[in-house]
Amino acid sequence: MFIISSSASKRKRGGPGGLNKVCAISPELQTVVGETAMSRTQIVKQLWAYIRQNNLQDPDDKRKIICNDELRIVFGTDSTDMFKMNKLLAKHITPLDPKDQPSEAKKVKAATAAPQQMPTINQNQPYVVVSDALAKFLGVEGTVPHDDALKYLWDYIKANQLEDPASASILCDSSLQELFGCESIPASGLSDLLAHHFIQRT
């Protein structure tokens, strides 16, 4: 039997990073998510919960969000969509230095400080030309960062509770049926189906 030392295990796991890194939240966004510091993943999850709780999705197209007074202050617009929303969040989220995270007082101080502009995408990430159907679904002109397309698709699926844990599949609503041409798809096959809508890299 092989025994893995605790130090080796810790090195393998590492600390939180990327979407799981704790970020300071602007005062405007705090009124919506109710916290001064959270990971980006938690922020997006809490934001979608707020949107559903307040019935802010357009009933004719659930990809679109109708802003109430609080969201209008955060996003600076009367309406947005799931693709643009993630970019609009950038100016309200500031990654915290790990040494600042344990202290709640420091979190509050960082959150109330003037937020710094955070890059919305990885500059090394390739753009792809997408099909007309995917461009319509995402609300873009025709090109999108490669990794963001899948991320925003999952945001939409989770926001509209389209996952079926019992069968590890995704139940397609009318928008996904229009995109993929089927009523359900295996969750593990989502990336492959999405790849059919990538025409070329730019």
pLDDT digits (tens, 9 = 90+) for 57-94: 888 887 789 999 999 999 999 998 877 887 888 889 88
CA separation, residue 30 to residues 70, 128, 156, 159 (Å): 10, 34, 22, 20
What gap in Å lies between CA 41 and CA 22, rounded to an integer? 9
**What does pTM read for this prediction?**
0.50
Residue (of 42, 33, 17) closest to 98 by Cα position: 17
Evaluate the CA torsion angle 173, 178, 181, 185 in order and state its sign: negative
Looking at domain 17-112, its CATH class is mainly alpha
Which range among 14-28, 99-113, 161-175 has the greatest average pLDDT?
Answer: 161-175
What gap in Å lies between CA 189 and CA 22, rounded to an integer? 30
Using pLDDT thresholds of 50, 70 and 90, give the confidence band for residue 19.
low
Residue 168, both tokens: 């590890």
Q: Fold identical between 17-112 and 127-201?
A: yes
What gap in Å lies between CA 191 and CA 149, rounded to an integer? 10
Superfamily of domain 127-201: SWIB/MDM2 domain (1.10.245.10)
Predicted local confidence at residue 71, as pLDDT: 93
What gap in Å lies between CA 33 and CA 44, rounded to an integer? 9
Domains of the chain, by residue range, sit at: 17-112, 127-201
Q: Flag whether pLDDT at 101 surpasses 70.
A: no
Using pLDDT thresholds of 50, 70 and 90, give the confidence band for residue 97.
low
Predicted local confidence at residue 78, as pLDDT: 94
Per residue in 135-173, pLDDT tens? 888 777 778 887 788 888 888 888 788 888 888 899 988
Residue (of 157, 139, 123) closest to 44 by Cα position: 157
Predicted local confidence at residue 109, as pLDDT: 43
Predicted local confidence at residue 134, as pLDDT: 85
